[in-house]
Structure 1
Amino acid sequence: MEDHKRALINQMAARIDLYDSGEISLPKLVEDLRGLFEAADPRELSIRDSFEETWTELDAESELRTEAWAPPGLADDAHLREILQRLRSWIEWCGLAF
């Protein structure tokens, strides 16, 4: 992976940190991660697929917290923490593997 692409992916960890500190909302995190991923435009199928799988779960968890159609109580804080940890692991994997 090219250095500028790796730098964009590494910025994802900083965005997760901002979410963890309460500086940005979950919907903003979801949007920012998608934007950084698209800007990085990784060509490797394994990178794309693994991001898409985890990001889709994050987006769904965000919707459970923000959409009017979502019944109260479906959002799962433990699941959200696990998704964020998988994203951090994905970022580390991208940095080491490429």
Structure 2
Amino acid sequence: MPVPDDQQLSEIASRLHREDPHFARALADGRPRRPREYRHHRAWLLLTAALAALSTGLLLPHGLLIAAGLVLAGIAGELFDPHRHERTTRHPHSET
């Protein structure tokens, strides 16, 4: 027996409100904002710090600053991925 459309829509709305209440509230008010997975404020800040460390390390030939800048850039790149929480580990722990 198919589920009525109203029930499906209310389930979707309640799940959306649980996952990202700010997005759901803004959507209900008619002022939509980006969902949580597409907000990259921390990633941009970390990328700026990474580029500052990398360029400082290149100007003052200092390997530790270059390495730190590259590591921070890698972390910032990971933060830009909107589906990073959905990925599973490559080698799940097996119970033997």
TM-score class, shorter-chain normalisation, is: 0.3 to 0.5
Which fold has the larger relative contact order, with Cα–Cα distance below 8 Å and residues 6 or more apart in sequence?
1
State the TM-score, normalizing by the size of structure 1.
0.32
State the TM-score, normalizing by the size of structure 2.
0.32
Higher helix share: 1
